[in-house]
């Protein structure tokens, strides 16, 4: 498979994922601003434990892709995050 076809195949796979948001630039900018505020509010616990305290419900994609850091302590259990949006 040539490189261009591989790249297109990867793009189709990524864009057809139900969790990939398709947003306008204005919507994305507003969402990223809200996400930045969310991270700032959770900064202390993220730095201390590597895990968020409050879910970012406005975008499951941002939440799962960018919220968790590496754990600084092994968690005893991880509560499942509800999939409701």
Percent of the chain with pLDDT over 70: 78
Q: Choose between 8 and 61: higher pLDDT.
A: 8
Q: Give per-residue pLDDT as tens, 9-68.
A: 988 888 888 878 889 999 999 999 999 999 898 888 877 877 777 888 888 888 877 776
The helix/strand/coil state of 47 is helix
The domain segmentation of the chain, as residue ranges, is 23-72
Residue 50, classified by CB atoms within 10 Å of its CB into exposed (0-12), middle (13-18) or buried (19+), is middle
């Amino acid at each position: 498979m040539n490189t261009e076809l591989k790249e297109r195949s990867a793009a189709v796979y990524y864009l057809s994922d139900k969790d990939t948001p398709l947003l306008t630039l204005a919507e994305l900018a507003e969402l990223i601003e809200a996400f930045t505020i969310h991270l700032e509010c959770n900064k202390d616990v993220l730095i201390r434990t590597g895990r968020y305290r409050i879910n970012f419900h406005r975008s499951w994609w941002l939440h799962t892709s960018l919220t968790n850091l590496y754990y600084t302590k092994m968690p005893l259990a991880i509560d499942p995050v509800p999939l409701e949006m």
